[in-house]
Amino acid sequence: MTDGRQFPEGSRVNNLELTGVHLHGVELEGARLTDANFRNAQISGEIDGLRINDVEVDLLVQSELDRRFPERLFLRSADLADLRQGWLLLEGFWSATTERASRLPVGLQVRRVDGEWSFVETLRHLIFATDCWLSRGVELVSRPYHSWGIPWEGVDPAWAEGLGVDVAASPDLAAVLPVRSQRQQLVRSTLEQLTEGDLADVRSAPDEPGHPNGEHTVLQCLHVLMNEEWQHHRYATRDLDALEDSEG
């Protein structure tokens, strides 16, 4: 009995030709790639415990990213002052990037690059992430979801609709910005109100459908949210480069 996957767990695939293929949203937890050719390959995503030729590379990758982007140290700190500083840095990054996107024609603001979310969709996803990890995860609000929020890719549309998310919505940037700004202000004010002792506090998500579920510390929730903000800012700036080039 299989779960409908093309390659069921535990199977072995020999001589799979993937030259030039774009794999998106690939789940490789526990996978083994042997005798593979990664010449000129590109990999982006969450890396934890990855070993290449018996070398654990995730620490090397994290160290290099920290060198390039020192703000990351604030974003995963366990110190409240660092987290507050990290959030202010994120807000500054996003302010400049949003102004940059606002100068684009409306059609480009909603255009996807290489199949990734558009700039507007990215902001809508971050609205959803804030509703999840701050309002639900930290503040324990049972139904915090704005109808314009976008969950992660691959989510069951019926589940999203059950939360009050309008999967068919298509607001423009001008409409989304006030909602996004309100969510950013909520994070800022929450960080100002928290104490050092609150960070270790374990919060249990409301017993209703939603995300996240179960127990998380306040610090864990903040780390997830800040990582979402940082990662998607990198993606947004990368895609804005391509959109601006397309105008030229």
SS3 204: strand
State mean pLDDT over 15-29: 84
64 and 91 together in one domain: no
User: Which residue range forms the structural domain that includes residue 38?
Assistant: 1-70
Residue 53 vs residue 78, higher pLDDT: 78
Whether 81 and 185 share a structural domain: yes
Exposure of 107 by Cβ count < 10 A (0-12 exposed, 13-18 middle, 19+ buried)?
A: exposed
Summarised one tens digit per residue, pLDDT across range 37-50 is 888 888 887 888 88
- The reply to whether omega before 212 is within 30° of 0 (cis) is yes
Q: How many domains does the chain have?
A: 2
- Do 6 and 43 fall into the same domain? yes
Q: Among residues of the chain, what percentage have pLDDT more than 90? A: 72
Q: Are residues 49 and 87 in the same domain?
A: no
DSSP state at residue 22:
-
Q: Is 166 in contact with 148 (CB distance < 8 Å)?
A: yes
Q: Are 61 and 124 members of one domain?
A: no
Q: What is the residue-averaged pLDDT of the chain?
A: 93
CA dihedral 80, 84, 87, 91 (to 10 degrees): 170
Between CA 37 and CA 216 the distance in angstroms is 40
Domain boundary among 22, 48, 70: 70
Residues 194-232 have pLDDT tens digits of: 999 999 999 999 998 999 999 999 999 999 999 999 999
Indicate which CATH number applies to the domain containing 116.
1.20.120.450
